[in-house]
Structures are given as C-alpha cells and as structure tokens.
Amino acid sequence: MCSIPPPPPPLPALPEVDPPPKALSTNRVMDELGDACAWALEHRELREACIKSRICQNSPPYTYKYKYFESISQIGPTCGLVALSMLVNGAVKPDELLNIAKFKGYTSNGEMFSCKQMVKLAEEVFSLLDIENVRCQLQCGNLFSPETIQRLNNGAVLLVPYDADANHSPCLRNGHTAHWTLVCGVIIPEDPGEKYDMDMENVFVLCKHGKSKYLAVWDLRDLTLSNRNLFEFSPKKGADGLVYILPEEGIGGKDGLRDQFLIFEGF
C-alpha cells in the first residue's frame, strides 16, 4: 500500500505587487531618455523596453495593455515553473512549484513539456492560494487571432511555450530550445481597422521569462510561428544523462506544447 503525504498547509493569499518605486525623478528620466516613448513615462520598465525595441518612440500607440510582474530568474530547466511563479507574484516560489510538480509526476528536473499538465499545476497553485477570481484556460491554436488580441487588450495574461534563440527571442528550431514566457501585455502601434490581425506587423506582446530580468517586446507573429514549430524534444538534451518526463506523443503531440498556450483572465 502506498502512502500519500498530507497536503501542505495553505499558503497566504496572493499579494499585490506594485512596480518598484521610481529610482529617478521624472525630470532626470527625461534627461536620460529624452522624449522617446514619453507616453510610457509612468512605466519605466515598459518605456525602456519600447525604446530598446524602437516601438512607438515618437507617438503613443493606438492602444496598449501592460501588467507589471516582478522578474524571477530560473535555476536549471525550470522556465515554465518560474513563469508560473511570476504569474502569482512569487507567492509560490519556483522550488515549491518544483516539489509539487514532481509529486504530481509532471516533471523530473523542472521541465514542463505539457500544456495540459501546466494547466493542472496552475489550478493547484490557485487552489493553494485560495484564488477564485482568475480563470485559466488551455487554448489550442489561435495565438495570433482577433480573439486572443482582444483578450490581451482586456487584461488577459498568457503562458506561452516557444523556441528560444540565443538572445531568448522567438525562433524556429523545431522545439529543440523549448522555453516558456509570461505574456503580460500587448501593444498595437497603429489603428488596425476592422480586425486586429489584418496587419501581422502591427501587434507586439510584452514578455517576461526566467532567463532575463528585463521586459521584452516581441512581434506576436514571431511568437506564434515559434509556438507552432515545437515538434520534437531536443536530441542534445535527450543525450545529456538526465531523465525528462515527456508526453506519450512527444512535445509536438496533443498532450505536448505545439500550437498550445494558457490564457488567464480575471486579474
């Protein structure tokens, strides 16, 4: 007979995390950065990311939505767990998530190669934190779609698996560099007209992940294509001597990562 350890005691309610206080006065910020992206002056992290990416430097975007999350650095292959920990403002630490995910049989080293299991883990976390107002949904396809873009505009947050390039931006490597990012905002620079997806170069997402402390601005089209190309687990990682837990049909199957993401609403 196998014994199941008692559940851990409930964790405290999810804390509200505000952006850190501005280190510089408004005048000093303007001196350092000039007038670039002045529309984002109240969000220093967002402003610096847009200046770096040369997005809407001279005029405000048609519309944008941004929610601040504290950055958390990952240790080992725990990018998905770190992204989920950022989502709850660190109320459950990555190492705590690792213990839960191991106990549930979702991971061996911290890897999360199943969106369906990530949904279950998120629901477990929300239950521990007694969070009832946030809804989590598994979405198959339609990352670049009017529906998803509108939901981002309404304040939705996403957890998206993708292939990471050397600078951690989206790329196409067949799933060999699979990574997770937290999408915490969206920018539409120009008036999209009737539909948000008519111009695929007019939608950018604001992202955080465990390999950088900085907010990133990526083309939603690039992130979508990267998400769709997660076909197989890296042969290099498969030969590194570690044991990884993979879905029966691999990361490209229906229980894996390919063309799937998580959407959270109710923040």
Cβ neighbours of 265 (radius 10 Å): 15
Q: Residue 146: CB partners within 8 Å, gap ≥ 6?
A: 195, 196, 197
Residues 83, 210: contact at Cβ < 8 Å?
yes
Q: First and final CA of the chain: distance in angstroms?
A: 42
Stretch (H or E) spanning 146: helix 146-153
Active site residues: 79
Between CA 117 and CA 168 the distance in angstroms is: 24
35 in Cβ contact with 41 (< 8 Å): no
Contact 117, 197 (CB under 8 A): no
Tokens of 53: 């990416």
Single-letter code of the amino acid located at 58: N
